[in-house]
Amino acid sequence: MNEYTVAADESTKENEHMYRRIIEYSVETIVIHRNHKILYINESGAHFFKAPKEKIVGSNVLDPFQEKDKQMIVERIRHGMSGTGPAEVIELTISRFDGTKVEVELYCHPVMFGGKKAIQTVFRDITERKEAERRLNDREKLASTGQIAAGIAHEIKNPLTSVKGFLQLLKESYSHPYLDVMDAELEKALETLINLLQVSKPDFQEEPLVSINFCKELTSLMLLFQERLYNVIVEMDLRDSEKTMLGKRNLFLKAFFNLIKNAVEAIEDKGKITIQHYYENEQIHIKVIDSGVGIPKDKLNMLGTPFFSSKSDGTGLGLTQVFTTVHEHGGIIRVESEVGHGTTFHVKLPVK
């Protein structure tokens, strides 16, 4: 080995040492891998994946990805090893080492590591950005459907009110059992329209902001369902009970009453309902989980739309009120469901 080769090796080692120092203190999650085996991860990456470096290094880089995405990632790695430039940025959902799922933006490009070609993959957490995008889309959807619903409700309510008035006059001069049936059905229709107006215009019900302790309110609400829970096991997991937030208490009581009522009705025979409350990332998290019939995936995106319901006799206005109340208080609501296994409604509400 001549002096030029030695100098070149020393220069390569020095460059790699400098490269490691740079990426080690990067705020980005950086993973270097070869043949799908992770060779290196920086400190930010270990924190992001919620595991010590010793556990991550040596593991398969494909492990965090969902099964449906793994083949695509394999192709990207193969393309990266045969090319020289970075691959296009993509967005995926991955699982961290503690089992939590997170939405990421990632890109990869070839690098020299340990004197051999490898792939550097950068993971960027975009969960908050995606949540903000979904929140905006949900609000726009609720606003547009609310405007349409309010217009329809006004147009229908006026003639129905006139019909009800004439029906009352008719009942005063003529008695017939069908008239009572007609009056009762008209009352139901008018009540539905009033509910629709309330969910389409949340400020219709003026209410002051007060400090709400959801642990106490959820415990009180469950007492209203005692007579209907003889075949249902209820588990209350209420942590961080001292946390409160400012909001419209009666609207929230109605919203969570609707969620619990849906959970009870989703269980056809025996089952379990779990109510969770905890505080994380300056948000109050409330989950209503049932082991009921579940909701098909193609219907999940329609939840919260007036008059859309997965129940044969439902109007959908209960969930519309839930979504509207949560969004008006700056929160978000996510629904996960599997047919035959149950549904989870996850409400996140900002404390500040």
Specify whether 120 is located in the same domain as 145: no
Specify whether 339 is located in the same domain as 239: yes
Single out the residue in 177, 204, 231 at which a domain terminates.
Answer: 204
pLDDT band at 204 (very low <50, low <70, confident <90, very high): very low
CA dihedral over 34, 39, 41, 46, signed as positive or negative: positive
What is the per-residue pLDDT for 189?
Answer: 79
CATH number at residue 196: 1.10.287
Task: Identify each DSSP E strand in the chain by its residue range.
Answer: 29-34, 37-41, 90-95, 101-113, 116-125, 210-212, 232-238, 245-247, 271-280, 283-290, 332-338, 342-350
Q: Could you tell me which of 267, 258, 266 has the C-alpha nearest to residue 318?
A: 258
Single out the residue in 125, 141, 166 at which a domain terminates.
Answer: 125
Count of structural domains within the chain: 3
- Residues in contact with 314: Cβ distance below 8 Å, sequence separation at least 6, in sequence order: none
CATH number at residue 92: 3.30.450.20
Task: Identify each DSSP E strand in 145-250 by its residue range.
Answer: 210-212, 232-238, 245-247
Specify whether 71 is located in the same domain as 98: yes
Specify whether 226 is located in the same domain as 279: yes
- Residues in contact with 210: Cβ distance below 8 Å, sequence separation at least 6, in sequence order: 246, 247, 248, 249
Tens of pLDDT, residues 284-333: 999 999 999 888 887 877 776 655 555 555 555 678 888 888 888 889 88
Specify whether 102 is located in the same domain as 189: no
Residue 70, helix vs strand vs coil: helix
Q: In the predicted model, what is the mean pLDDT of residues 191-210?
A: 64
Q: Could you tell me which of 55, 199, 64, 181 has the C-alpha nearest to residue 125?
A: 64
C-alpha–C-alpha distance, residues 146 and 152, integer Å: 10
Indicate the range of 10-24, 88-102, 242-256 predicted with least confidence: 10-24
C-alpha–C-alpha distance, residues 253 and 39, integer Å: 52
What is the per-residue pLDDT for 306?
Answer: 54
**pTM (predicted TM-score):** 0.52
Specify whether 93 is located in the same domain as 141: no
Specify whether 249 is located in the same domain as 310: yes
Specify whether 43 is located in the same domain as 176: no
How long, in residues, is the chain?
Answer: 352
Query: Is pLDDT larger for residue 172 or for residue 218?
Result: 218
Q: Could you tell me which of 199, 221, 224, 200 has the C-alpha nearest to residue 212?
A: 221
Query: Is pLDDT larger for residue 301 or for residue 274?
Result: 274
Query: Is pLDDT larger for residue 205 or for residue 130?
Result: 130
Specify whether 242 is located in the same domain as 315: yes
Specify whether 83 is located in the same domain as 131: no
Side chain identity, residue 79: H
Single out the residue in 103, 125, 147 at which a domain terminates.
Answer: 125
Query: Is pLDDT larger for residue 224 or for residue 306?
Result: 224
pLDDT at 340 over 90: no
Side chain identity, residue 248: K
The strand pair at 232-238 and 245-247 is best described as: unpaired
What is the per-residue pLDDT for 55?
Answer: 92
CATH number at residue 287: 3.30.565.10
Query: Rg of the chain's alpha carbons, rounded to an integer?
Result: 28
Specify whether 331 is located in the same domain as 215: yes
Q: How far is residue 140 from each of residues 35, 133, 347, 348, measured CA to CA in Å?
A: 46, 11, 19, 19
Q: In the predicted model, what is the mean pLDDT of residues 58-63?
A: 93
Specify whether 187 is located in the same domain as 137: yes
Indicate the range of 54-68, 167-181, 191-205, 285-299 predicted with least confidence: 191-205
Residues of the domain holding 186: 126-204
What is the per-residue pLDDT for 6?
Answer: 41
Query: Is pLDDT larger for residue 144 or for residue 169?
Result: 169
